[in-house]
Structure 1
Amino acid sequence: MRKIFLILLTFGLFACNQQKDNTKILQNRIDSLEIKIANTYKPGFGDFMSSIQAHHSKLWFAGQNQNWKLADFEVHEIMEAIEDIQKFQAGRKETEMIGMINPALDSINNAIEKKDPVLFENSYTLLTISCNKCHQAVDLGYNVVKTPDSSPFSNQDFKPLKDSK
């Protein structure tokens, strides 16, 4: 009986030692992955804002050309960028304030659905004003957004295809 007890005790101690080694290996892997995640690139706030600026401009030209499919695409790109800001830039004052443009985006969506150029222009003006109010609220009032007067995208035709109205 004593022999069996010693054999079981030996196996038990070996198993415990093996468990400690596995725990240490797993903890080292977790630590390594945490370092990699911390050093992974994530876009900065300015990267997101530059993207929104481009889509804001394209949205204007799509609406002016009554290319409602493109306008719908561009407004949803802005919404997606805002979601990404909230995901990747949480905790910033700018992120907390960005939701103030949602009513303007809803208004533009409504104008696009109705394919109403006058409502679109008014909604776009509201969006632009909302962007500037947000900039002012977070002490970035020197960054003034306006309705574009010429497209920086000379490689894009904003007119709708004949069969896509």
Structure 2
Amino acid sequence: MFQFLPFSSQIIIFACDYISLKILDMRYVLLVVFSSLLLIYCAGPVEERSTSVGSDGWLRGVTDEKFEIVAGQFGGFARSMMDVHHRYVEMYWAGEDENWQYAEYQLDEMRKSIEDGFERRPARAASGQHFMDVVIPEMANAIAEEDKQIFDEAFELMTLQCNSCHAMEQVAFIQIHKPEVRTGAVMRR
């Protein structure tokens, strides 16, 4: 290309071209970065449109409002306690039937329900921590023994702990007692 020039001149021309390309590249990069920042700044916050979803559009609002509505459907700790009550009753009858696998299953589901309740209502966790750390493991050990007398003793202690927790949460009027009537259909024959 520049063969008519001496070699040293060719090097200088290539060096100048390289430098000008680098300067051009840098200008291009700065232009792209500046333009992008300008676009982001000028765009400003985007306002979310309120929409309805679900059958018959029952879930309305922007995303945050929908989350609040759905969270309300889960309820607070009382919803967890309804499930815990069901598990408590079923676990009792499983122990009476000496259906140890079913008793273990109910205890594990009870633990999960309580954990879910703590997630929704963290303020309740302090009262329930002893129950989770001590009472449930003791009940699990009693079930593992597969001995009805040991189970009955542990169940009685668990019942006392339930009532103690209720008192700490200012709902001492909720008194739990050993079930007297079987309401579930699961029986060991």
Distance in 2 of aligned mates of 1:133 and 1:11:
66
Normalised TM-score (structure 1): 0.77
Residue 19 to residue 127, structure 1, CA distance change in 2 (3 Å): same
Give the corresponding residue for 1:159: 188
Aligned positions, number: 149
Q: Secondary structure at 2:84's aligned position in 1?
A: helix
How far off its partner does 1:83 sit? 1.0
| 1:163 corresponding residue in structure 2 | none
Instruction: Kindly state the Cα deviation for residue 158 of structure 1 after the two structures are TM-superposed.
Output: 2.1
**Structure 1 residue 99 and structure 2 residue 99: aligned?**
no
Measure, in 2, the Cα distance between the counterparts of 1:61 and 1:70.
9
Paired residue secondary structure (2:70) = coil
| Percent identity over paired residues | 18
Cα distance in 2 between the residues matched to 1:70 and 1:141? 29
Hey, what's the Cα distance between the residues in 1 that align with 2:106 and 2:80? 14
Structure 2 counterpart of 1:145, one-letter code: I
- Equivalent positions of 1:128-147 (< 5 A) are 128-147=159-178
Question: What runs of 5+ residues in structure 1 fail to find an aligned partner?
Answer: 161-165
Deviating 4+ runs (over 6 angstroms):
7-12
- Name the aligned partner's letter for residue 18 of structure 1: L
Deviating more after overlay: 52-61 vs 130-139? 130-139
Q: TM-score, normalised by structure 2?
A: 0.68
One-letter amino acid matched to 2:69: N
Q: What do the CA deviations read for 1:31-67 (whole angstroms, capped 9, x no partner)? A: x543433332233211111110110000000000000
Query: How far does residue 106 in structure 1 lie from its aligned partner after superposition?
Result: 1.4
Say whether the 8 Å CA contact 2:159–2:176 is kept in structure 1.
Answer: yes
Contact 1:104 1:124 in 2 (8 A): no
Partner of 1:117: 148
Q: What is the CA–CA distance in structure 2 between the aligned matches of 1:12 and 1:109, rounded to whole Å?
A: 62
Unpaired runs of 5+ residues, structure 2, are: 1-23, 50-61
SS, match of residue 52 in structure 1? helix
What CA deviation, in whole Å up to 9, does each residue of 1:104-137 have, x standing for no partner?
2212111111111111000000010000011112
Cα distance in 2 for partners of 1:113, 1:11 equals 68
**Matched residue type, 1:116:** D
Structure 2 matches for 1:10-25, cutoff 5 A? 14-21=35-42, 24-25=45-46
RMSD after superposition: 2.8
Bigger RCO (CA 8 Å, 6+ sep):
1
Q: Distance in 1 between matches of 2:179 and 2:33?
A: 75
